[in-house]
């Protein structure tokens, strides 16, 4: 999901964030990280709660998507150094001019909730044509799902995960980083990291086939999603 389904937290107490071990996510980590997301991500993500979706609704496609995303080399896991317990993770991928979207294939899912979710994500992902907007950009780091355990919240782990993914993206030739930030905490963090908002989806008015799809009483205080981005290649900025 290229939408930053976010459980970001404010970057305070950076000492703890820096004490964790950060490594590139590999296929052997996927089952553990997806289980971590089931516990810490889906119960706190506004689009999922607003669509009355659970991990079980997402289980099939998220396992498949996570295995695809780790192949890009820009997904990261944070672990406690002694126990090796997962403290946070970020799933990310790389978009190119030939492969510029992530969610289209899930639109064929037989599950109504999954199709609705990916319709929302596809609208967000295609709202800004980055390759048309930035002629020099050929590879884009797309931050997808970020999750931080509650006990590590407010300690800079979310910030460090984004920075680790950006660093890997830069090594692999990414010139721009983008995210569909679906919750207020993620939006605040990305603003602090220099991202700008280029598109806003108002949850209260968003419709599919004339029907409002979000239960606003379950949106966890988030009124809108934002497509956010920043250039990470200094040459493109010139």
% of the chain surpassing 70 pLDDT: 91
pTM, to two decimals? 0.91
Count of domains observed in the chain: 1
Which residue has 């659970």 as its token pair? 54
Q: Residues 113, 51: contact at Cβ < 8 Å?
A: yes
pLDDT digits over 65-83, tens only?
Answer: 899 999 999 999 999 999 9
pLDDT of residue 90: 96
Q: Which structure tokens are listed for 222?
A: 């988030």
**What per-residue string of b and e applies to 157-190 under the rule 16 or more CB within 10 Å gives b?**
bbbbbbbbbbebbbeeebbbbbbbbbbbbbbbbb
> What is the enclosing helix (H) or strand (E) of 223?
none
pLDDT digits over 100-150, tens only?
Answer: 888 766 667 778 888 899 899 989 999 999 999 999 999 999 999 999 999
Beta bridge partners of 77: 23, 89
Distances from the Cα of 221 to the Cαs of 42, 131, 218, 231, in angstroms? 15, 33, 8, 29
Q: Give which of 136, 54, 38, 132 is closest to 89, Cα–Cα.
A: 38
Backbone angles phi, psi at 137, to 5 degrees: -85, 125
Q: Which structure tokens are listed for 122?
A: 């596809």
Q: Which CATH number does the domain housing residue 214 bear?
A: 3.40.630.30
SS3 71: coil
Q: Give which of 190, 193, 194 is closest to 225, Cα–Cα.
A: 190
C-beta neighbour count of 10 within 10 angstroms: 15
pLDDT of residue 221: 94
Identify the DSSP state of 98.
S
Q: What number of residues does the chain have? A: 238
Question: With 50 as the cut, is the pLDDT of residue 12 above it?
Answer: no
Q: Are strands 176-181 and 196-202 parallel, antiparallel or unpaired?
A: unpaired
SS3 percent helix, strand, coil of the chain, rounded to 5, is: 45, 25, 35
C-beta neighbour count of 31 within 10 angstroms: 12
Higher-pLDDT residue of 229 and 10 is 229
Orientation of helix 157-171 relative to helix 184-192, angle to 10°: 60
Q: Which domain holds residue 232?
A: 3-237
pLDDT of residue 101: 84
């Amino acid at each position: 999901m290229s939408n930053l389904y976010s459980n970001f937290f404010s970057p305070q107490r950076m000492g703890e964030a820096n004490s964790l071990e950060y490594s590139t996510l590999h296929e052997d980590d996927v089952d553990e990280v997806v289980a971590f997301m089931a516990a810490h991500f889906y119960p706190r993500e506004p689009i999922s709660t607003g669509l009355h979706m659970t991990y079980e609704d997402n289980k099939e496609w998220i396992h498949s998507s996570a295995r695809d995303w780790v192949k890009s080399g820009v997904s990261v896991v944070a672990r406690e150094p002694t126990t090796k317990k997962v403290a946070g993770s970020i799933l990310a991928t790389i978009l190119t001019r030939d492969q510029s979207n992530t969610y289209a294939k899930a639109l064929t899912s037989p599950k109504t909730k999954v199709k609705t979710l990916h319709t929302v994500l596809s609208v967000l992902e295609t709202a800004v044509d980055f390759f048309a907007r930035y002629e020099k950009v050929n590879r884009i780091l797309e931050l997808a799902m970020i999750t931080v355990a509650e006990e590590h919240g407010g300690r800079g782990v979310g910030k460090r995960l984004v920075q680790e993914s950006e660093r890997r993206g830069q090594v692999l030739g990414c010139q721009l980083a983008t995210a569909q930030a679906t919750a207020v905490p993620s939006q605040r963090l990305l603003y602090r990291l220099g991202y700008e908002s280029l598109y806003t989806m108002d949850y209260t008015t968003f419709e599919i086939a004339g029907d409002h799809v979000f239960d606003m009483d379950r949106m966890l205080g988030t009124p809108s999603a934002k497509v956010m981005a920043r250039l990470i290649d200094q040459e493109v900025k010139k």
